[in-house]
Chains A and B, each alone.
Chain A
Amino acid sequence: MSEARQPIPLLRTPLHKFHVERGARLVPFAGYEMPVQYPTGILTEHLHTRAAAGLFDVSHMGQIAARPVSGQLEDAARALERLVPIDVIGLAHGRQRYALLTNEAGGVLDDVMVANRGDHLLLVVNAACKAADLAHLRQHLGKACKIDPLPDRALIALQGPLAQAALAGLAPGVAAMHFMEVRPVSILGADCEISRSGYTGEDGFEISVAADRAEPLARALCEDSSVMPIGLGARDTLRLEAGLCLYGSDLDSTTTPVMAALEWTIPKVRRAGGSRAGGFLGAEVVLRQLSEGAPRRRVGLQVEGRAPVRGGAKLYVDEISANTIGLVTSGGFAPTAQAPIAMGYVDNELVTAGQRIFAEVRGKRIALRICDLPFVAHRYKHN
């Protein structure tokens, strides 16, 4: 008798029951059973988020606290600056920044959010990178920081032009928050940590809440008629239109911040001539590429015609040549732009902005034009 091979059981988020009740189609994602879409479908969910408000369960993402052993937050900030080329020391209490964890070669290990929570730093990391990030942080920050994963906290994103109105119904104070601000807020008696940020290009919030309080919070938010639950399918099309990278597709350990066109995340103080220039893993490579450029570069790609060009499609300079000049890393049909769009890496020497190049899809060459990102303008609340 042969033994049936048991698949690795998928983890569930605290909102699993909520998803099932709403008829979500659940798929495996980064070891979790996650909703890819609800019965409304990806197109409707996408357009609803741009027009009103979408609620996303992103509890699969890792939340990690870095607490200074000395009790001085600056010591934790100084230590973390060895791993990310951003200004952590200058990050004010109640603010967060987007940061890239680099390796010795300047490659990206993960893209994360770093928040100053007063007595500790809070990192939000990608689900698939959680374990590796934790080990990396402990290895490099272990002397200066106590690294605590927060597995008992859920994370709910509320995104879209009506997100503020919906959330302010439960927590009026959030209306005064600005983009990338983080603050503790009590909602329905639960202690939440709210940031005004997201992954859609829209205004919105990410709400960290104790796992056992997540479901009542999600239900209360969905009582607002402008709020609809949104799955990972629309989360992907929304972030692609916003030109935001998906780790594992658009970023990996072989892409540097300069290749990824994310050098805007590196402030002057960490660049050549800055008072804390370099001093992070892979700094030599990254600082050199900041001045000399990188061999390849992430670009936006506007597809001609209607056929979607997806991740993995090879790029060519014309319709016949056999030599590839790059690779599409994300692509698909953009519901707001109403056209196929893509992002990919191209050889810096061979192409220029606005150039018409070709992707191979099912043996055919499809024309696309190198364009600026994002495809759909961001609508963050800066003021």
Chain B
Amino acid sequence: MLKFTEDHEWLRIEGDIATVGITYYAQDQLGDLVFVELPAPGATPEKGAAAAVVESVKAASDVYAPVSGEITEINQAIVDEPALVNRDPMGKGWFFKIKISDPSQLDPLLDEKAYQAMIA
């Protein structure tokens, strides 16, 4: 199941684990990324808290935890090569996996159609 936030993150939900990244639109707006900072595995961000940082040539931006939970895995590849997020934001450019603590937080998320309508 693929969901989106109004902050331009995507979540691919499998069971109680969500893989999180930023959308094509988000990476395009940010421009060339040169630095990514990810949360530590085991961290437990609350929904809406800054969980990761991305920096383009121009500026730094926060990536928020789209749901509360525990970080189970991070994608070291984008730390080593931030441009991967620009090249493949919905695939190899994923950020982290989070174990969802409150499934009801998924309810207000957007489906792909609603997200595409929002950025159109």
Please, which residues of chain A bring their CB within 8 A of the CB of B32? Answer: 41-44
Over the window 7-40 of chain B, the binary record of Cβ atoms lying under 8 Å from chain A Cβ atoms (1 yes, 0 no) is 0000000000000000000000001101101000
Q: Judging by beta carbons under 8 Å apart, are A310 and B60 in contact?
A: yes
Please report which residues of chain A, range 134-166, place their CB below 8 angstroms from some CB of chain B when the two chains form the complex. none
* Interface range for A: 10 to 19
Q: Judging by beta carbons under 8 Å apart, are B31 and A42 in contact?
A: yes
Given known pairs A36-B58, A233-B58, the reply for A308 and B34 (CB within 8 Å) is yes
Report if A306 contacts B (CB, 8 A). Answer: yes
Kindly provide the distance from the CB of B63 to the nearest chain A CB, expressed in whole angstroms: 13
Q: Judging by beta carbons under 8 Å apart, are B53 and A333 in contact?
A: no
Please, which residues of chain A bring their CB within 8 A of the CB of B34? Answer: 43, 306, 308, 333, 340
With both beta carbons as reference points, the residue of chain A lying nearest to B83 in the complex is identified as: A43
Report if A116 contacts B (CB, 8 A). Answer: no
Interface majority SS on B: helix, strand, loop or mixed?
strand
Report if A282 contacts B (CB, 8 A). Answer: no
Report if A200 contacts B (CB, 8 A). Answer: no
Over the window 8-51 of chain A, the binary record of Cβ atoms lying under 8 Å from chain B Cβ atoms (1 yes, 0 no) is 00000000000000000000000000001100011110100000
* Interface range for B: 10 to 19
Kindly provide the distance from the CB of A311 to the nearest chain B CB, expressed in whole angstroms: 11
Report if A94 contacts B (CB, 8 A). Answer: no
Q: Judging by beta carbons under 8 Å apart, are B37 and A307 in contact?
A: yes
A76-B37 Cα distance, complex, nearest whole Å: 56
A42-B86 Cα distance, complex, nearest whole Å: 13
Given known pairs A332-B57, A335-B57, A362-B53, the reply for A233 and B31 (CB within 8 Å) is yes
Report if A59 contacts B (CB, 8 A). Answer: no
Q: Judging by beta carbons under 8 Å apart, are B55 and A307 in contact?
A: yes
Please, which residues of chain A bring their CB within 8 A of the CB of B31? Answer: 37, 41-42, 233
Over the window 313-342 of chain A, the binary record of Cβ atoms lying under 8 Å from chain B Cβ atoms (1 yes, 0 no) is 000000000000000000011010000100
Please, which residues of chain B bring their CB within 8 A of the CB of A335? Answer: 57
Interface majority SS on A: helix, strand, loop or mixed?
mixed
Please, which residues of chain A bring their CB within 8 A of the CB of B35? Answer: 306-308, 333, 340
Over the window 50-66 of chain B, the binary record of Cβ atoms lying under 8 Å from chain A Cβ atoms (1 yes, 0 no) is 00010111111000000
Kindly provide the distance from the CB of B111 to the nearest chain A CB, expressed in whole angstroms: 28
With both beta carbons as reference points, the residue of chain B lying nearest to A338 in the complex is identified as: B34
Please report which residues of chain B, range 58-82, place their CB below 8 angstroms from some CB of chain A when the two chains form the complex. 58-60
With both beta carbons as reference points, the residue of chain B lying nearest to A42 in the complex is identified as: B57
Q: Judging by beta carbons under 8 Å apart, are A233 and B53 in contact?
A: no
Kindly provide the distance from the CB of A37 to the nearest chain B CB, expressed in whole angstroms: 6
Please, which residues of chain A bring their CB within 8 A of the CB of B58? Answer: 36, 42, 233, 332
Kindly provide the distance from the CB of B83 to the nearest chain A CB, expressed in whole angstroms: 8
Please, which residues of chain B bring their CB within 8 A of the CB of A102? Answer: none
Kindly provide the distance from the CB of B67 to the nearest chain A CB, expressed in whole angstroms: 23
A308-B56 Cα distance, complex, nearest whole Å: 9
A170-B59 Cα distance, complex, nearest whole Å: 38
Kindly provide the distance from the CB of A38 to the nearest chain B CB, expressed in whole angstroms: 11
Give me 14 A-to-B residue pairs in the complex whose CB atoms sit less than 8 angstroms apart, sorted by A's number.
A37-B31, A41-B32, A43-B32, A43-B57, A46-B57, A233-B31, A307-B35, A307-B37, A307-B55, A308-B60, A310-B60, A332-B57, A333-B35, A340-B35
Residues on A lying within 8 angstroms of B by beta carbon are 36-37, 41-44, 46, 233-234, 237, 306-308, 310, 332-333, 335, 340, 362
List 11 additional A-B contacts (Cβ < 8 Å) besides A332-B58, A362-B53: A42-B31, A42-B58, A44-B32, A234-B57, A237-B57, A307-B55, A308-B35, A333-B34, A333-B55, A333-B57, A340-B34
Complex A-B, nearest 7 residue pairs according to Cβ-Cβ distance, in ascending order? A333-B34, A43-B32, A42-B57, A41-B32, A308-B55, A306-B35, A233-B58
